[in-house]
Chains A and B, each alone.
Chain A
């Protein structure tokens, strides 16, 4: 089988051969195989694929190697949270779980629909598991009265794969956070959220990575009628880091908020990619992405709203991307897209990219605020709006991290 699979990836790179070898060590499982085949179709995504033209994993990830840099510290509080930790070879979860959260660690892989749209999500599905780590972790939420669930991805190693499926039952609210702290040469995580009628999700993602690490976080969110999801991301990038979200409004009255801030420094690349399908009438999407990039850093924003002719009627959707190029040599690629076939909709989008305002900088400096601090103040004020939707327990932490980065 391995040789057959190997043929699927044309001219495989060392990294791809290593991924094939890892797959060969997994137990045989038809769904796992289908997921791996979906990945193998393209191999590691690369610049000649439209959706990956600015984030070339094939070029960035030559081989699976433990990076020189250690994991970052987790600024997201662990106290008072139910903490799950995924390391390249290890896995930890709370010893006891309160009523209202039930975990099914599946020995087999769950089916992944639309796997071909998310090659690195499919890869995570195919390679999750092994050792102490669950193949697929299914978490059922039946109570709104739970502590925050916190998922940590850290620890040194060549590669780390995880797949988590959330079932948020009707009318139930879930607050969860994720910290991707680097340490592995390659991390691919797939998180799927199934929100039943009137369920609520507040998801906050913190990401930090080194200049020799690749990271792909794929989130799939299905929203049933009158459900609501709020997602807030703060990404600092890695050699290549892709934070991708694909959401589908499946029942009318659903509401989705997708906010992100990316801050890329030298040698770091942060990619925020989203795809929202308005598959039911009368749904709302609000998306705000803010970025700030330094010399030698790269930011990518790709956003798409897809509004079908029949099911997308009365869609109310707004997509905004605003980036600041803080220094010469900063690079931002942006592609906001609205694909709308329904006629009775309100859809808007905006996209701006520029430097800090000279007049504002001078005003701050005239009052005595040194240049670096002035720049940090203005940039923080600029991105803060995108982080305002984060859960109360982490919002200030995210702002403080952004501030530290800006004033260093």
Chain B
């Protein structure tokens, strides 16, 4: 599904360009959930931005393909239409644009790009109501401008709301657990698990085992210095929690 091979990238202008990805390889087959862990500043978020096409990074080598298609040359909106979705570590506020308007515009833009018909207003509203109910989101909240005045946890839930509305093929969750209270974590995890599907892949970036208790990963990768330096099963996350990065990485180094 998502295949990253030897991916290298830099940030910044020519002379000051700083290497952020250094020959990273990762393969997430359809139907699997992979977790990425790693210390602060390990370029986890950066990896998610490079994959979704944020400007400011230059890919200097390697490739990333989604179902065999090279995504690195595509505009971000094309990648989105192909099914890439990023749940942002820090969701962005969009003053003046109500959530419902935003999501419906996004959904129809994606459908248009894929040559599909627009969703009808009643269908959209029904779908929104169902998703909001599942995530315990207040209908009033969806009339407010995107993320404006939302609490940290509300923003994270709104990311998942958007994800469930847009039904992407490949999901990147960047620290979706941070900021969520215990009940919200469970609710969000239920939402994510409901999206699990043999045709869907997920990359879950987190610092904590707790999220992985709910969203069981098939594999856990440790990212540091622009590379995947260790890969294991779910037990790797538990070990990291007990021994810390120093303990686990010490042996890898």
Contacts and interface: CB of A to CB of B under 8 A. Distances in A.
Interface of A: 358-360, 362-371, 373-374, 377-378, 380-382, 384-385
Interface in B121-168: 145, 162, 166
Given A374-B77, A377-B97, 4 more contacts: A364-B106, A366-B54, A367-B103, A367-B106
Contact of A367 (B56, B75, B102, B145): B102
Interface string B81-92: 100111010011
A358 B55 contact: yes
B55 A368 contact: no
B193 interface: no
14 contacts: A364-B102, A365-B53, A366-B52, A366-B53, A366-B80, A367-B80, A367-B162, A368-B109, A368-B166, A369-B77, A370-B109, A371-B75, A378-B94, A381-B97
B110 interface: yes
A368 B106 contact: yes
A382 to B, nearest CB: 7
B80 A362 contact: no
Contacts of B86: 366
Contacts of A380: 96
B93 to A, nearest CB: 8
Nearest to B86: A366
Interface in B27-84: 52-56, 75-77, 79-81, 84
A363 B106 CA distance: 11
A112 B19 CA distance: 69
B89 to A, nearest CB: 12
A359 B105 contact: no
B76 A365 contact: yes
B105 A363 contact: no
B75 A365 contact: yes
A328 to B, nearest CB: 15
Contacts of B249: none
Given A368-B106, A369-B105, A369-B106, A363 B94 contact: yes
B80 A360 contact: no
Contact of A382 (B85, B96, B103, B109): B96
B113 interface: yes
* Residue among A365, A367, A377 having the largest count of chain B Cβ atoms under 10 Å: A367
Contacts of B93: 360
A364 B107 CA distance: 11
Closest 4 A-B residue pairs measured CB to CB? Answer: A381-B96, A368-B80, A368-B110, A367-B106
Interface residues of B, number: 33
Nearest to B105: A369
B94 A360 contact: yes
A364 B147 CA distance: 13
* Residue among A368, A380, A384, A385 having the largest count of chain B Cβ atoms under 10 Å: A368
* Residue among A360, A363, A371, A385 having the largest count of chain B Cβ atoms under 10 Å: A363
B116 to A, nearest CB: 12
Given A367-B166, A381-B97, A373 B92 contact: no
B76 A362 contact: yes
B92 A360 contact: yes
Nearest to B145: A381
A72 to B, nearest CB: 26
A366 B76 contact: yes
B95 interface: yes
B92 A371 contact: no
Contacts of A374: 77
A365 B80 contact: yes
Given A362-B55, A365-B76, A381 B94 contact: yes
A368 B77 contact: yes
B96 A365 contact: no
Contact of A371 (B77, B113, B145): B77
A380 B91 CA distance: 21
Contacts of B97: 377-378, 381
A366 B92 CA distance: 11
A263 to B, nearest CB: 16
A370 B77 contact: yes
Nearest to B162: A367
B95 A362 contact: no
Nearest to A365: B76
A123 B81 CA distance: 57
A373 B52 contact: no
Contact of A368 (B54, B91, B113): B113
Nearest to B93: A360
Given A358-B55, A362-B76, A363-B88, A369 B109 contact: yes
A404 to B, nearest CB: 16
B92 A363 contact: yes
A302 B208 CA distance: 54
A402 to B, nearest CB: 12
Contacts of B91: 363
